Amino acid sequence: MKDCIFCKIVKGEIPSVEIFQDKVAKVFLNINPASKGHLLIIPKEHFENILDCPDEILSHLIKISKKMAQLVKEKLGADAVNIANNSGKEAGQEVFHLHFHVVPRYKDDGMKLDFIGKKDLKDDLEEIRKIIIS
């Protein structure tokens, strides 16, 4: 993709602080880190998000994400890790080249990733189930 910033990173047209790469994937530090060691895992081939990415590539990316999570715990002393993906603008996706965030978490780092429950949706679970599985 001509104007995709992550494709340009893959091609070396713009710099990145690389951590790892293989034939399929690349890992680099987020330019605007939410915590020390915030990484992005991307496929070298352009996919917009999880939904248009073939399963084999997704499996590979999530395995690398796990390795990276282990690495930041081991090497940076992270206590925990968030692995996140935003698929679609309304979900907060800003760069439309699939990526997983690996966000190292440190005790008392003050960050809170909350999916706050909405009381008015609590009663609809059975109805929602019917719609989804129909």
From 38, 46, 60, 99, the catalytic residue: 99
What is the C-alpha to C-alpha distance for residues 122 and 106, in angstroms, rounded to an integer?
Answer: 32
What gap in Å lies between CA 50 and CA 96, rounded to an integer? Answer: 10
How far is Cα of residue 10 from the mean position of the Cα atoms in its chain? 17
Q: Which stretch in 29-37, 73-81, 105-113, 116-124 sits in contact with ligand AMP by CB under 6 A?
A: 29-37
**Active site annotation includes 46:** no
Q: Of 30, 66, 105, 109, which one interacts with ligand AMP (CB under 6 A)?
A: 30
Pattern 38-57, binding to ligand AMP, x per CB under 6 A?
--x-----------------
Pick 24 or 95: Cβ nearer ligand AMP: 95
Q: Contact with ligand AMP (CB under 6 A): which of 57, 60, 62, 93?
A: 93
Assign 121 to helix, strand or coil. helix
Burial 50-64 (b: 16+ CB within 10 A, else e): beebeeebbebbeeb
Q: Which residues bind ligand AMP (CB under 6 A)?
A: 5, 16, 28, 30-32, 40, 86, 92-95
